[in-house]
Every structure is written in structure tokens, then in C-alpha cells.
Structure 1
């Protein structure tokens, strides 16, 4: 009897070996095959994504520019609150754009601009000595016959204006905003040429009525007395 059971066991084991079914059965083999297929598909998908990403263009280059922070009229002097920095597509950025906010502050608009509009060089009026003019002063061009006196003066200096006819000081401690180019080019104590020369002064409104008649209508015009550096 014992031998019979042993023989049966040997016969069963031989049958399992002949079928080639791995331990765990056909169901486990099917699952492993499915996992291999899913893994292969995932690897293939990653390869395709990497290839597409390599061929796709990257983010466009960006550059900084200055734009108006509000609607502003022509003649407006830009303050810090009037401008803002924006990022724009480098490919479409205008060559004349203003890229530095500090360079725009203090400039005067030659044309009106709308909120968000980029500031460009043609939109800004070239800077001049008038940027030094306060709201309580007026810019007055004063012709001066003595070119030697003009040769001593530079923008930023302060001068006294004296009537040649009366010897009276008609303007004291006035800021020089600019000097005529003809006078500056003449140099020395005796300039040449017949074109009138002079300078632009920052004059309080109360003194404008004194300086203009003396410089334009008075006999002999006016003379300049230049003050020391920093002298007010």
C-alpha cells in the first residue's frame, strides 16, 4: 500500500515537470507578462516625450523695458510713480525703447502716452538746463554784449546782472541754466562774429520786469558779475 502511494506521488511530480508550468500557476505568469508589457510601453512613452521636448523651441527670450504707469500728457515731466518696468519679447522689442527706469525719471514727454505704452527715445524731449528750473522761477534769455564775461560763465554758476546804463543790480544770485553755443565756442576775452550771444537765467517773476528792459531796451545792455562756486 505504501509503495502504491509513493508511486502515485512520483507520477504526479513527473506530470507537473512535463507541463513546464512555473510555481505559482498560469495566473502568476500572465500577470508578470502584463507587467513587462506595461513597463515597456512606459519606457517607450518617455522616449517619445524626451524626443519631442528636445525638438520643441524653448521659452522666448525676454528683455526689460520701461512703460507708462498711467495716461500722461505731452509736456509732463516723468516722476518715479509715472513709470514701471515690464518684460517684453526680445524679438519684437523696439531698438529705441527705454530700458532703465532711472533714465526715464526727470525726462519730459514730447508726445502724450497711454498707460502701459512703452517709452521710446522719440517720445521723450531732449533734456536741457530747464530741468533745473523751479516752479517759482522763469527761464529768461539775456543777451550780453561783453563776450569776455560770457566766457567765464558755465551752466550751474550764479551771477549778478548789472545794468550798464544805471549801474544798478537788476538781478542777484541768478542761476545760469545754459550759455549760448556761439559764446561758448568763441572762448577767450574777445569773441568774433556778429550774432547776438547771451545766456539763459533762472529768474524770479518779480525780477523779470527789471532784467528784460535793461538787457534788451536799455542803453549799453547788461554786464555779468560771476559769483564764487556755491555763492548764492
Structure 2
């Protein structure tokens, strides 16, 4: 005996037709060109970015850089579309994979432009290289000078007979050496000679230079 299908519910049929019409409308809107009042899409700009995470102190090579297309309104100032323009330059701060490499990330004029008004860039060589490699650009540090003879009112007697003087407080780190490579470890680069570059007041720079000639320098890390 033939079996007859039950007629569909009118309400269900209406819902199916409405869903089909909405799907067609969405497709038409998606492929329709923008009208005269619609904003034009932003042009894409080629920007040089890091291929992988790179530590501070890295000398950039051709294999460290590539280009990526970014919307024009998010391209940072100081960027470039030519990786070759950055080859051979040294990173003053670490960069992440895919991050645009700008002038303020490099040792050079772009970095010095970050020195606050009224301050100067002062090199400071620490006695403990490991301490220097813990620091990164943007950190704030106090520089301490340890001497074998009493100093001024900021000195604090040490049980061993030495005194400690605070010669710079809250100094901004502009550049720091990279972490030293350890056998089997993840460090990259060399620790160098523990040289930091700090942004300080000119008077503080003079005190740092004088302390470096007679004292052992170290730092304590403060809030950025």
C-alpha cells in the first residue's frame, strides 16, 4: 500500500522560507561593493618585523627580520619597510616574534631620543655582570657605590668596614647587556662588560663618573 507523507506545517514552511531569504540577503550584502558614503578600506603597509623572539643586545642579521602587512593606522612611528636598513644594528631592548622593529628598539639616535628633557645618557659599568644582564630597557634602578672609606650623609656602614652610597636614584635604563650564553641553557648573546646606559640628570652623571673611579658599582631594581 502506498504511504503518503504528512503535509508540512504552514508555520514550519514559513520559517524555512524566511531563513532562506535571510541567507540570500546576507550573501548579497557581503559581495555588494561599498556605497559612496562607506569608508574606504585602509591600505596595508609593509613593515619590518622580528622573525622570532630576540633578546636585547642582538646584532640583527638578515635571518632575524622579515616583512608583514599591517593596516596603515596601526603602523608604529619609526618603523621601516626595508629589513636591510636594520641589518647590523644592535637591539637595545628585547622584541617579540612578529613585533615591528622601530628605531627606539635600537642602539642609536632613536634610543637617545627617549632621554627625558633635562637629562643625559650616562654609561655605567657594574662590577657584577650577572646583575647587569637581569635588567632591560625601561627598568628603573638605584645605583649604589661601595667604598672602603666613609662617604657623605647617604652612606650606611657595612659590617666589613665598607660604606654604600646611593649615587643615582630611580634612573631609567636605556640599554642593558644581553644574558650570557650558558652551556645547555636558553641564554643568547654574551654578557659583555656589564655596561648599562642610564638616563640621569647631568649632576647625577658627574657623581656616577666620580664613583666609578673609586668605588664598586651595583644596582637595585625599583618599580618601572
TM value normalised by structure 1: 0.41
Larger radius of gyration: 1
TM value normalised by structure 2: 0.42
Name whichever structure is richer in helix by fraction: 1
